[in-house]
Structure 1
Amino acid sequence: MRKLKISLLLGMFSGILFALDITEAAGKKVFLLDSYDATYAWNMSEQTGVQAAFKDQKDVEIKVHFMDTKRNPSPEFKQDAGRKALEAIQAYQPDVIIALDDNASEYVIQQVKDIPAVVCGINKEPKDYQYGENVAVVIERHPFDQVIRLLKDLVPAAKKIAVITDDTKESSGAAMVKLKALAPKIKAQSNIDIVGYHEVGSFREFQTLVQSYQPGQPQAVDGLLIFAVHTLKDEQGKVVPHRQVIKWFIEHNQLPDLGVFDWGPQYGMLAAVTVSGYSQGFEAGKYALRILGGEKPGNLPVLDPQTGDVLLNLAKAEKLKIEFPLELISMAHTFDIMEALDPNFLETK
């Protein structure tokens, strides 16, 4: 019996492949290039979407390669990760590449001109990359206006918020550019001013900013929008595990906190309006199938999947004395606990 194998490369430095038998198949080969690592929930949901797109196929083999650039954000590491990914692609000789998130585009796909590719989770404008006609694009655009409007619905007196994120230029930097462009629309819709945009590199700076915006402080705001906290460094320049950052934040923040990723409400933030990583991967997988069927990547339009979810944390709402409307609860994904307050939270990867 022929079988489709999902070969999971557990890190760039490991030469061991673990194959998962998914369904009957053999033939075409897909190289699934992941910018990050298997502990990052967003890209794992993208991978789930890709695999769902291929679930009925019987002639496809998929190999997953992690670049691990979220936990190792230095330019030198990213360049080396790109070189190793290119070597892995050359050795595998795939029929199509599916690349997840911006680092895979910047350090790998721009240099690949002879193999069809689909990129997804792209925060920058496609024109910022030197894609060839061999590349189809699925972009990632976060619903910042919707999540801030949600804050206004939940806290009608809210007038000022601040935004804090890490300084990952490929994702956070690009997202902040788009948020600043949306600010006039947000002001018109919600009468909320964004009084601070902070892209920070260190955990200490993150802590200082969060504390400076709390109730009773001179620059207090009515809410915080947290985008990403995965590359903050300690005083020795080492990346602080994101769960450690989130645990500190959930324990110390007294404001309504919002985000655009599902981990926020899951771990204890009040609410999020998300882009679906699953949809990003699923649409990229569908594009890859069309390419394997003979369509040219350059003829496929840039795609912006609009599907997403509203997520609410009921325990956080109770703590803040905020009441969610029943109709909002009925349409949202809800969480009953704040996971970051669990004594074992830091033990989970």
Structure 2
Amino acid sequence: MSRSRLCSVLMLLALISALPLLSEGPKKVLYIDSYHQGWPWNDRIADGIRKVLDDTDINFRIHYMDTKRNTAEDFKVNAGLKAKELIDSWKPDVVIASDDNAAKYVITPYFLNTEIPFVSCGINWDASIYGFPATNVTGIVEVNLVDKMLRQLSRYTNGRRIGYLASDTYTERQDAEHYKSILGIELTEEVYVTSYPEWKKEFCRLQEGVDILIVGTPGLADFDYQGAEIFVIENTKVPTGAMNEFLMPYALMGYMKVPEEFGIWAAQSALQILNGTSPAEIPMVTNHRFELILNLRIADRLGIVFSTGLLKNAKILR
């Protein structure tokens, strides 16, 4: 066989051996959203994912479970089954899944410790209840950054007594338990109310009994949001903080979680997995970025003057 013919044969064999790789096409990443398109928090998570993946040739797809608008248990179970069927048929190389329902109704019952790699994001406080981390699951857990907020608020008071005021719901009580058990925060007094008049009464009482007040979600059917804004300006005596933006008319300072952080971390982890890293080799983390909001009307009420540096990096509520 001539040398030129031998080279041609070798080149042909190389091309043939590469055909299976070429036929695979782009890698596929599936994002399972527990909620629906148009839900602001999760849409911003998706924006974070796209920010990382848009410059790649990855085939990216979103599947919505719609369990925010449909809360019945049978709907959630069926939504989890539909997501499983999509994974089985589309065969993504990595699955990113946001929020607790995707974990509870998709990953844990069908895929825990299987070969399909998952990156979870947005599970509240404790992922171990779903069996994470696992051999095929890593993730970023969502926590309130109340400890960072309290460190900032402590600059404006000499006392260390911390109060918590919220509606009497399971979620608010659980948040307080997590503040204590996970973040190590000592709450001097916890108050859970069932009506707007009770909320006003306890708000005033706590101004005399604590040095810092965390304002939880009211969640009350009779809560007067506009009236409460005037009431708070007139009756605030101690620095107050909140963890949700819609509560900022009633608090001096807020530390808001950044949803894009979850999407960016999840997408970057997905790329690591596609490059050969096992999910088990990627430690689970918690969020740490925040958006600072300052309420200048309450600051004026308390005689607090924020530093230029703090104002420069904050969203201002006037």
- CA separation of 1:82/1:212 partners in 2, compared to 1, >3 Å: closer, same or farther? farther
Q: Which amino acid aligns with 1:36?
A: Y
Q: Residue 164 of structure 1 aligns to a residue in which SS? A: strand
Q: Residue 55 of structure 2 aligns to a residue in which SS? A: coil
Deviation of 1:88 after TM superposition, in Å, equals 3.5
Q: Within 5 Å, which residues of 2 pair with 1:163-202?
A: 163-164=165-166, 167=169, 175-181=175-181, 185-187=184-186, 193-196=187-190, 198=192
Structure in which a larger fraction of residues adopt helix: 2
Deviation of 1:207 after TM superposition, in Å, equals 3.3
281-290 vs 270-279, which moves further: 270-279
Other-structure match for 2:131: 130
Q: Which amino acid aligns with 2:275?
A: G
- CA separation of 1:181/1:29 partners in 2, compared to 1, >3 Å: closer, same or farther? same
Q: Residue 274 of structure 1 aligns to a residue in which SS? A: strand
C-alpha root-mean-square deviation of aligned residues, in Å? 3.6
What's the TM-score, normalizing by structure 1? 0.67
Matched residues in 2 for 1:81 and 1:154: separation?
48
Q: Is the 8 A contact 1:312 1:332 kept in 2?
A: no
Matched residues in 2 for 1:31 and 1:53: separation?
14
State the identity as a percent: 26
Matched residues in 2 for 1:209 and 1:121: separation?
33
Verify: 1:290 aligned to 2:272, yes or no.
Answer: yes
Verify: 1:215 aligned to 2:204, yes or no.
Answer: yes
Q: Which runs of 5+ in 2 are unaligned?
A: 1-24
Q: Is the 8 A contact 1:27 1:61 kept in 2?
A: yes
Matched residues in 2 for 1:259 and 1:55: separation?
34
Structure number with greater Rg is 2
Q: Is the 8 A contact 1:161 1:221 kept in 2?
A: yes
Q: Within 5 Å, which residues of 2 pair with 1:1-349?
A: 27-57=26-56, 59-110=57-108, 111-112=110-111, 113-131=114-132, 132-156=134-158, 159-164=161-166, 167=169, 175-181=175-181, 185-187=184-186, 193-196=187-190, 198=192, 205=194, 207=196, 209-215=198-204, 224-227=213-216, 250=229, 253=232, 254-255=235-236, 257-265=240-248, 269-318=251-300, 320-327=301-308, 329-337=310-318
Deviation of 1:208 after TM superposition, in Å, equals 5.3
- CA separation of 1:207/1:67 partners in 2, compared to 1, >3 Å: closer, same or farther? farther
What's the TM-score, normalizing by structure 2? 0.73
Deviation of 1:284 after TM superposition, in Å, equals 0.8
Deviation of 1:64 after TM superposition, in Å, equals 1.9
Q: Which runs of 5+ in 1 are unaligned?
A: 1-25, 188-192, 236-243, 338-349
What number of residue pairs does the alignment pair up? 286
Deviation of 1:322 after TM superposition, in Å, equals 4.3
